[in-house]
Structure 1
Amino acid sequence: MEIIQQVLFALLLGVALFLFSRKAFQIRRNIHIGLDEEITDNPAQRWNNVLLLALGQKKMFRNPLVGILHFFVYAGFIIINIEVLEIVLDGILGTHRLFAGFLGGLYTFLINAFEILAFLVIVACAVFLVRRNIVRIRRFTSKDLDGWPRSDANYILITEIVLMSLFLTMNASDTLLQDRGVEHYAAANTGNFVISQYLQPWLDPLNNATLGFIERLCWWLHIAGILTFLNYLPYSKHLHIILAFPNAYYNRLEPMGKMENMPAVQNEVLYAMQPELAPADAAPPAKFGAKDVMDLSWKNLLDAYSCTECGRCSAACPANMTGKKLSPRKIMMDTRDRAEEVGNNISINKEFKDDGKSLLHDYITTEELRACTTCNACVQECPVSINPLDIILQLRRQLVMEESNAPQEWNVMFSNVENNFAPWKFSPDDRDKWTEAV
C-alpha cells in the first residue's frame, strides 16, 4: 500500500511540475513577443528595489492595516510552504515527518511558527473577503473586475483559507495519533503544536482508524491543493507572487516625470530646424508609437503579467475619479489579455497569423487614451512597480502620429508648435512684445 502511495505521489508531482513549466515557458514567450529593451543599469539600486518593493512590500504599508494583513498572507503562504519540501520528500520516500528527528526542538519551533502564520493567513483572508464582498470597497466593485477577475480574487482567498485549515487539521490529528502511540506516527514524537492543539478536542472522540484517515486525507488535499494552486497561478492575477520580483528589478529608475522620447522624432525635428546636420542617407522613422503588443517592449508586457488587479492605480487616477472611461488597471488587464491571445495564435499557427485585431481600438479605446493627464499617479501607487502610463503614451503616439487622430484643440496646438515653435498662435518675433507695455 505504501509503495502505491509513493508512485501516485510521484505521478501527481511530475504532472503538476510539467504543466506549470509548460505554461511558464508560454508566458515567457508571450512577454518576449515585445520589442527588445536593454535594462541593465545600476544593479545595486535594482536589487534594493527587489528587497524593498517586492520582498518588503514597501508601498503596501502606506495603508498600515492593509499592509500588515497583506504581509501576513504573503509571508504566511510563502514561509509555510517551506514545509512543502518535507511533504514532497515524505511522499517520495514513504517517510513521515522526515525532518523531525533530524532537527529536534528546532523542528517544533518551526512548525509552531508556521501554525501561527497559518492562523494569521486565515484571519487576513477572511478580512479581505469581507472587504471585497460585504464592505464592497469601491475599487473592488469597479466594472473592470466584472466576471472572471472578481471571482478569481475570491477563489484565491477561499483556497488559502482551506489550505491553511487543512494544514492545522493535519497537525492536530497527527499529534493525537502520536500521543496514542500509533505506529508510523509515534516515531516523530514532536509533541503538540501551538495552534492545532486547540482542534484536538474536536478530534479526540474519533478512533485511530478514522483519525488516521483524516490525517492522510488532509495531507493529500494539502499537497494536491498547493500543486493545483501552482498551476492556477499562471492563469490568475496572483502570478504577481512570482513576477513581482523580476518586475521590481527591471523597474525604470528615471524620475517618474521623465517621459521617454523617440530619438527618431527628436532627430526629425532637429533636421527640420538645422538641415545641415541631416546625414545624406537619413531615412524617416519606420513607425511611431504602438498599435499592438508586438510594438510594445518586453518590459511593458512583463508589467501586464505582473498586474495584481488591486485597483490602486485606478483609485488614484484623476481621470477615473471624475467619471472618465480611463482605468489604468483595465489598460494592464487588456494588454495581458491581448498578449495571451497573440500567444495562443502563435501556438496554433507556429507563427503569428493576422487575426484582424489589435490592442489599440479592439481592446483599448481612443476615449480611454485621451482621458489620461500623464500625472503618473498610477505609477506612483502601484505596489509592484508597474507603469501603465508608458503603454498609454505609446498607444497615444500611434493615434496622433500614425493615424492623425487627435482632438481639434490638440491639432491647433500642434500646428502652432510646428509653425511658431510655441503653443500660441503668434509669431516668434512677437513673443517679447508684452514687455513693452510694462
Structure 2
Amino acid sequence: MQHFDIIIIGGGAAGFFTAINAAEMNRGLKIAILERGKEVLSKVKISGGGRCNVTHAEFVPKELSANYPRGEKELLGPFHSFMTGDTMEWFEKRGIKLKIEEDGRIFPVSDSSESIITCFLSEIQRLQIDVLKNHSVQEIQKAGETWDIKTNKGDFSAEKIMLATGSNPKMWKLLAKLGHSIVPAVPSLFTFNIKDERIKGLAGIATEAYVRVKLTSKEDKLESKGPLLITHWGMSGPAILKLSAWGARELYAEDYKFQIKVNWLPEISSEEIKEELKKLKLKEAKKQVAKYSRFGLPKRLWQSLVEASGISSETTWAEVNKSQLEALINQLCDAEFEVNGKSTFKEEFVTAGGVDLKEVNFKTFESKLHKNLYLAGEVLNIDAITGGFNFQNAWTGGFLAAKAMSAN
C-alpha cells in the first residue's frame, strides 16, 4: 500500500489547483492525484471552444456569486477569500498573460487552453506531485486516522483526501456510502430544440432578446435577458443558457417540453412599437414592409416575423390593416415558441446536482461529516451560468481546501 500525506481524486481543474497550492503552501507534503482516465485536464482542454474561459471579470463577491443558480449563498464567503482578481494574479505570476473580452469572459492571451494545461503540468513537475493516470477508485474507507483508497491498480492511504471528481455518479455513490446526501443530477447549461418556420434558415443570427418560460409548475418567473442565437436546431446564446441553468430542475420535470415567449425588442415598450409602426404607415406608405428592417433587427429575422404576421413580401405600409399591425407587434414583443427537447451546449456538459451543500464547511471545503475529507468543484451541488464561473468555483474551492489541507 502506497502512503501519501494528501491524495486528490480527480485530475481536473479543481484537483490540479488544489494539489499545486497545497504543495506550494507546505513543501514537505507528499501529494498524489489519482485520475481514472488516460488523460488529465480534459475539460480544461475543451472549455471555451479550446481557448479555456479561465474566469469572469466580476470583481465584487456578491455580484460574482449571483451567477450560481446553486451555490450562490454558500460561495459568497469563499469569494471574499479567493476570487477573480486572485485567480488572474495566480496565473499571471506563473507566466500566463490573460485578457478580458468585451462580454467579461477572461481567456489566456494565447487563446489556447494548452497554455493553462502546460502551466499546470510544469507546476506539478516542479513541486514533485505524483499524477497517477488510469487509476479508477473503487472504494474509500476511513481507517482510524487515515483514509484507505482501493483502485484498480493497487491500494493507497493518506491522512487527508479530496474528491474533485466532477459529475461522476460512481464517486457520488461512494460518498453516499460514507453518509453524504447526494442531490440527484440533472443537466444544466443546454440549448433549446425548437422547430418553427419563423426561425427556419436563420441559423447564425444573434440579437438581444428577453425570454421567459411558461411553466405550469413554477410560480416564480423564469426569465432572462441577453444575446439570443438562432441555431440549426433551435435557440442558444446567453439568454437561453441562463434559463437552462436557473430552470434546470423545473425544465427536467417538464421533460424539456414547454413554451417560451420571446420579446425581440426588450429595450422598447409595445406601446412605443405601436406608435412607431403607425408613423411608418404614414411616412413610408409606399415602401414594402418586409424590404427594410426596423428597430435594428437583423434583416432576415425582421422578414420572417413580418411574414408570420400575415403580411406578404409585396405588401406596402399603406396596405397593412389593423389586425396585421397587431399581429406584427405580437411577433416582435411576445412571440411564442414550442420547445421540444434540449441539446448539450458544445462539449461542456454541466450538471445541477451533487453533494448537499449543507454537509460542507465552506471556510475550508471540508466535509462536515468526516474530518480530513474535502470536496471541490462540480462534485458539489454547485453550478453556474456560462462565462467562466464554473472554473472560478473550482479555483476558489481548490485554493481554500489546499490552505486547510496543507496546515499541519
TM superposition score category, shorter chain reference: under 0.3
Structure showing the higher strand proportion among its residues: 2
TM-score, normalising length from structure 1? 0.21
Question: Comparing both structures, which one devotes a greater share of its residues to helix?
Answer: 1
Higher RCO structure (Cα 8 Å, ≥6 apart)? 2
Point out the structure with max Rg over C-alpha.
Answer: 1
> TM-score under structure 2 normalisation?
0.22
